[in-house]
Each structure stands twice: as structure tokens, then as C-alpha cells.
Amino acid sequence: MKTNLLAVALCSLATLVHAEPPPPLVPVDLDHWIPRNPGTNADDFHLTAIAYGSGTFVAVGSQGPDSVASIVTSPDGAAWTRQNDFASAFPSGLSDITYGGGKFVAVGSLDHAALLLTSSDGKEWSQSSSNISGAPVSVTYGNGTFVAVGSVWSENDGQYFASILTSPDGTTWTEQHRVASNAYLRCVAYGNGLFVAGGAEYVAPDRHAIILTSPDGSTWASQSVGTNTTYGPDKIAYGNGVFVAVGVRRFMGFSIVTGMTSPDGITWSTSFGGRFIYSVFFANGTFVAVGGDCNEGGCVSAIHTSPDGVTWTRRYYASDSSGSYRYLQAIGFGNGSFVAVGSGGMILQSGTGVQFNSTASVRFGDGTMRLVLGAQTGAVLELEASTNLVDWIPLATLTNTLGTVDFLDQTATSFNRRFYRARQVSPQ
């Protein structure tokens, strides 16, 4: 007897078959999300952004009634440590963080001046000596340049202007551009050789979205986004040949949702609505978006995924009526998993996909089948079998203590054909 084997990684499932394309380079379980402890008092802890680099996750935000700056770090997305010495030095929350050129760069504002910080490891930080006014709220890296965007108050004009800052190293910054009055930028991304920044501009009596593009961070052009995108995006990401912009704003009791896509950063179309999405990130071949909403009854958080920014699938949904205002605000990717962060100290980590080793998995002469599975060390796996890919029966519960798990299916001798699949049910 011969056993046909199938090897496919799909969301939370990993199934094994020979002669099929190899599984994704990093199989990730996007249907199961594991709560993580932020390593500090969660109720007063609000994380607004996350980045991964140099083998480390770094999440930033604010903490306490005075909204002092907070930074937490993790080597794996599971165990987190707060960098306590930093909070007292900068009594102002941080808005965003990115990684590029071998360093982390975090941005915020302090006493109407830009707060611009750099670190090689997420633990020891230095403040830029550049004396720049304004409040940057988003930062990205591309083409050897850091770009930060936000708004700046002009005493002479008595109004805000949208501002753009650039730096070759995260330490020395230059203000490059101010757009029209009563305008602000909330996000910036880099993709396909182009920086794309988004925000909104108020021209009485209307407010409308603005999109700016630049090949180098210095020369910027305004792009048309139509009149139905009132508040503009909160976050922009690029992947699979498309820019995706998302956002949520409240106005007179109503929630206004932004969802736009563009193939080039210049021509934009409204692609989706009705979802409370604050942030979007592209990695591992997919867009992952997070968000939530709060009212008198509590808060909800949700995670959606999309291959193209148009068709979305909800992967996670949870409510919280504790009164702590917990909802997701940002997401990043590294070390084989997505990590989402938010207010109330929320940290969620995606499960790690299970891989079958098709080379080491073999059928012996007596008909028994040896299966070798790879997964996150310490993970508990459920292994199932089927003869038709429709009806599945449980086969074993396995604990991955060494990085790979060996299992001998002695019941395979009774079948001409058998399929296998496995999923991670929990970290140990």
C-alpha cells in the first residue's frame, strides 16, 4: 500500500502532501491570537505603535495620568520588558516607531517641539539635538532616509500646518515641507520607490483628505483622493503592488471610516468601509489590519486580513466590558509572528504555523507512517488524519519541546490513502 501525502499550510492548519509547492517561508496562524503580558500595569498602559528589528520587538506609547513615554521590548513577542529608566526622562507619550538602517527611530512631541529618538537595541535611547518645532505622529524608513510627518503650530499665522521631516540617520533632522494651513498629516509609508503621506486639510466649510507623494522625502506632490474621504487615513501600508490606507474618525457622534487603495500612490479609490481599522501592516504576503471601538457598554477589538486591500477576512473579534478601554491600535511582524498592540496594555501574538518536514516524513515497509512536524518550541499541537480531506479524526496531542516533533502513525497500515493536518492549540 502507498500513502499519498499532502503538505499545505493554511491559516491555523498545516497539512502534508508530496509533490506540492513548499509551504510559505513563514507559516503563521492568523486565526488564533495569544494574549501577552506587557510587563507593567496594563490599565494605565497605552501602546500606539510597534516595530521589529535586530531580533527585537519594540512597542511605544504612554503610561499613567501624565501620559509619560513608555517603551517595552521583547525578543520573541511573548515575554515583554518595560524600559523603566526611559519614562522619567521624557514626560510625553510616543506616537510611532520604525526600524531602518540598523536602528529604531521613535517620534512624539514635548512642549510643542518634536521628540525624535534613536536606539540600536530598543533599550538605550538618544534624543536628537535637532531643534525642530511641531508634533510628528508617524515615521517610516526607505531609500536610506527616515521620514516623519505631523503638524506644526505657527505663531505668526495663528494656525497649524502639516509638516514633513527627513533624516539620513535618525539623529540629524531637517524640515522639508509645510502644506496648506489648517492641515495635518497622520501617516507615512514607503513602497515601490515612493514615500506616501496622508492626512486631512480644513478649507471652510469642509474637511477633506490629502495625500502627498515623494520619491526622496524632499520634493512632494499633492494627489487627488476625491471628496468622499473626509478625514483621511490614519495609516498607510504597501505590499503586493498596492498601497492601502485606513482610518477611523469620530465627528458629531458619527464614526467616519476611511478605506482606500492605490496601485501607485497617485490614483486612489475607496475600496472598503464599515470596519473600525486604525492601522494596517504588510508582511509575509498579506495585509493585516487592526482596530476597535468603545462606547458605554465597553470596547471591541478586531483583526482583519487581506491579500489586496479590497477583500477582507475577519480573523479575530473580542469584546471587553471591564471599563479599561482596551482596543487594538497597531500591528507589526517579526520572528515568524504578527504582534498587535493597543490601549489598556493589550498585546496579542499570532500563533505560529505548523510545518511538516516532507523529507524526514516517510512511510516504512510495514505500512506505518513517520511524521516530523516543526513548530514554535513549547507549542502544543493537535494532529488529525483524514481519508478524504473532509472528515477528520483526532490522532494525537503533541508537545514540541525540542523544535521538532516525531510521531509514528501505526494505524496508517489500514489505509490506502491518508492525509494529515496539525494546528497549534497553545504555547506550553
Q: What is the CATH number of the domain that holds 402?
A: 2.60.40
Q: Is residue 1 part of a domain?
A: no
| Cβ–Cβ < 8 Å for 138, 96 | yes
| Cβ–Cβ < 8 Å for 272, 258 | no
Same domain, yes or no, for 283 and 418?
no
CATH label of the domain that carries residue 251: 2.130.10.10
Same domain, yes or no, for 152 and 284?
yes
Interval 26-41 mean pLDDT: 80
Summarised one tens digit per residue, pLDDT across range 370-413 is 999 887 777 888 899 999 888 999 999 999 888 789 999 999 99
CA atoms within 13 A of residue 340's CA, in its CB half-sphere: 33
Same domain, yes or no, for 403 and 254?
no
- State residue 189's pLDDT score: 98
Query: 70-94 burial, b for 16+ CB within 10 Å, e for fewer?
Result: bbbbbebbbebebbeebbeebebbb
- State residue 21's pLDDT score: 42
Distance from C-alpha of 368 to C-alpha of 286, rounded to nearest angstrom:
38
Same domain, yes or no, for 345 and 374?
no
**Domain range for 409:** 6-25+354-427
Same domain, yes or no, for 396 and 346?
no
Choose among 198, 197, 200: nearest CA to 182: 200
Distance from C-alpha of 102 to C-alpha of 53, rounded to nearest angstrom:
8
Summarised one tens digit per residue, pLDDT across range 209-265 is 889 999 999 999 999 876 555 678 889 999 999 999 988 654 444 444 568 899 999
Q: pLDDT tier at 171 (50, 70, 90 boundaries)?
A: very high
Q: Is residue 165 part of a domain?
A: yes
Considering the chain, what is the average pLDDT of its residues? Answer: 82
Among residues 311, 335, 352, the one where a domain terminates is 352
For residue 35, give the amino acid letter: P
